Structure 1
Amino acid sequence: MGKDTEESLQLLFQENPQKGCEALFRQYYAALCSHSVRLVYSKEVAEDIVSEVFCRFWSDRVYESVTTSFVAYLYQAVRNRSYNYLRWELQKSRQSTDPQELAVVDYQPSPAEMVQFDELQRKIEQTIEQLPSQCKRVFLLSRFENRKYQEIADELQISIKTVETHISKALSTLRLVLKDEGLLFLIVLFSC
Structure 2
Amino acid sequence: MDTDEVKTYYLSYFRKLVLFACKYVGDMDLAQDLVQDVFVSLLNKPVEKIENPDAFFYTATKRKCLDHIKTQTIRSAHHENILSVSESVFHDDAVEKTELENHLLSIINELPGKCKEIFLQSRFEGKSNLLIAEEMQLSKRTVETQISKALKKIREGLTGFKNILLTIF
| TM-score bin (small chain) | 0.3 to 0.5
TM-score, with length taken from structure 2: 0.45
- Based on CA coordinates, which of the two structures has the bigger radius of gyration? 2
TM-score in terms of structure 1 length: 0.40
